[in-house]
Amino acid sequence: MKKIVLVLVAVFLLSACGSGTETKINPSGSAQAGTKIVAAIGSVSSDPWASLSTITLDDAKTVTQKIVQSDGNYATVKGFGGLIYIINPIGTDTIQVIDPSDSFKSVADYSVGSGSNPQDIIVAGAKAYISRLDAQNDATDTNDVLIVNPTTGEKLGSIDLTDYTDPSGDRLARAEKMVLVGTNLYVLIQDLSQSFADNTNGKIAVIDTKTDTVTSVIQLNGFDPYDIAYEAGAKKLYVSVVGGTWTADTSSSLGGIEVVDPATGKTEGIKIDDADLGGTVYSMKIGSKDIGYVVTSSPTYTNTLASFNPSTGAVISKSVYTSAAYIPDFQLVSANEIVLTDTDPVKGGVVFLNGDGTVTAGPLGIGASPSSLAIIDVK
C-alpha cells in the first residue's frame, strides 16, 4: 500500500493545549537527563517541512513546540540511545539525528539515497539499519536495507531483498517496518508492484545482524504487511496486514493481525480478521501477551484505535478511541497508557488515554498536524 498518507489540512495550528498544560515555542535549553519525553513530529500541508515538538511525560504534560525543523514534510520519528532520529521519506530521503540532552543540537543529517524513500530505522549497537521502500531509485545502491553508522551516516553495507520477491512480479521488495529481536532483524517485505499493486502475499526477511546476511524468509498469508511487533512473553511476532486493497475494504480474508512463530519461522495465520476489528489495520503495538492495540479505518472511513488480546485473538474493543480523521501513529507509555496522534483539524492533537479509552490529557497542540511519535529516554 502507499506509504505516505496525505493529510490535507488547510490550517492546523492547534496552539491551545489542554487545561492546565503549559505551552512553549522555540525555547532554548535541553531535556533533563534521566527523564522521558514524547517526541512529536507535525506539519502543515502548505509547508515543505515538518517540525519536532516535545511533551513531558510527567503530570504537567508540558508542550514545547517547534524545537527543530525537519528536512521534509512527511517525516516520522524514532528514538534510540537517548537520541532522536527523524526519518525524512520520499522527496528528501535523509535521516536527522538530534540530541535532546544537548539543547536539541543536530548530531548528524545524512542522505540515505536519492529517491529511496526510507521508512524505518533500527539502531543495533554501532550500526543502523534503514528500510527503503523505493530503493530501486537510488542511482548508487539499489539494495533494500541500508546499513550505516547511526551518528555519522557513514555507509557500512546494504542488503538486497529482491531474490525473495515473487518472480512473476516487478521484483520490488518494498521494505517497510522492522523489529529487532536479539540479534535477528525482522524486515517486512511488501512485495508490491511498480504501481504499488498488491498481487502477492507479504514476507518477512530475517537478517542476522552479526553477519548482515539474510538467514531465512517467512511467507505470510496476508497481503501488504504494514507494521510488526514482538511480544517477549508469548515469543511471537505480530504483523498488521492491510489485506491487498487500496480502500478500507475488509471483505477479503487477507487482512488483519497475523501471528508468526520466529522459532519455527512459520506463520500461524491471520488470527484476527480486519472485519472483526472494524476496519483495515495499520499501526500496531503489543503491550503484553494479553493486550495489543491497532489503528483501523472502516469502510465508511471512521478511524479508530482498537484493542485485542494477542494470545487468544479476541477483540477487546473496536473503539478505544475514535476520530473523524486519520490516526497516523501511537505509542505505548505502558501496557495501559497510550499516546496517539489525531489529525482532526478541529478536535485533534496529541492525546493521552488509558486502555479503556479514558482521555487523561489532551488534545495537546504542537503547532501543526501531528503525524509521528516516539518516547525518548533522555540520557
C-beta separation of 146 from 155 below 8 A: yes
| Alpha-carbon gap, residue 172 to 229, rounded angstroms | 23
Q: For the chain, how many structural domains are there in total?
A: 1
Q: Is residue 126 part of a domain?
A: yes
Cis check for the bond before 363: say yes or no (omega within 30 of 0): yes
Q: What is the pLDDT of residue 18?
A: 46
300 — pLDDT class (breaks 50, 70, 90): confident
Q: Is residue 17 part of a domain?
A: no
What is the domain-level CATH number for residue 165?
2.130.10.10
The contacts of residue 73 (CB under 8 Å, 6+ apart) are 43, 45, 47, 48, 49, 50, 91
Please state the rounded mean pLDDT for residues 47-65: 93
Inform me whether the pLDDT recorded for 147 exceeds 50. Answer: yes
Instruction: Determine the structural domain holding residue 152 and report its residue range.
Output: 23-377
Q: Which of 294, 295, 310 is nearest to 230 (CA)?
A: 310
Q: What is the pLDDT of residue 245?
A: 59
Please state the rounded mean pLDDT for residues 60-65: 94
Please state the rounded mean pLDDT for residues 3-12: 36
Task: Give me the residues paired with residue 293 across strands.
Answer: 285, 307
Q: What is the pLDDT of residue 244?
A: 73
359-364 and 349-354 strand pairing: antiparallel
Q: Is residue 5 part of a domain?
A: no
Q: Is residue 4 part of a domain?
A: no
Inform me whether the pLDDT recorded for 268 exceeds 80. Answer: yes
Q: Is residue 260 part of a domain?
A: yes
The 10s digit of each residue's pLDDT in 129-143 is 999 999 999 999 999
Lowest mean pLDDT among 31-35, 90-94, 124-128, 139-143: 31-35
Inform me whether the pLDDT recorded for 25 exceeds 60. Answer: yes
Length of the chain: 379
Q: Is residue 181 part of a domain?
A: yes
The amino acid occupying position 81 is G
Helices (H), the chain: 274-277
Please state the rounded mean pLDDT for residues 256-263: 97
Inform me whether the pLDDT recorded for 274 exceeds 80. Answer: yes
Question: Which three three-digit cell numbers place residue 170?
Answer: 516487478
330 — pLDDT class (breaks 50, 70, 90): very high
Chain centroid to Cα 272, Å, comes to 20
Q: Is 154 exposed, middle or buried (0-12, 13-18, 19+ CB in 10 A)?
A: exposed
Q: Is residue 18 part of a domain?
A: no
Q: H-helix or E-strand containing 121?
A: strand 118-124
Q: Is residue 9 part of a domain?
A: no
247 — pLDDT class (breaks 50, 70, 90): low
178 — pLDDT class (breaks 50, 70, 90): very high
Name which residue leads in pLDDT, 259 or 48: 259
11 — pLDDT class (breaks 50, 70, 90): very low
The amino acid occupying position 145 is V
State what percent of residues in the chain have pLDDT above 90.
Answer: 80
194 — pLDDT class (breaks 50, 70, 90): confident
Task: Look up residue 244 and give its DSSP letter.
Answer: S
The 10s digit of each residue's pLDDT in 80-122 is 999 999 999 989 999 999 999 999 999 999 999 999 999 999 9
22 — pLDDT class (breaks 50, 70, 90): low
Tell me what the pLDDT averaged over the chain comes to. Answer: 91
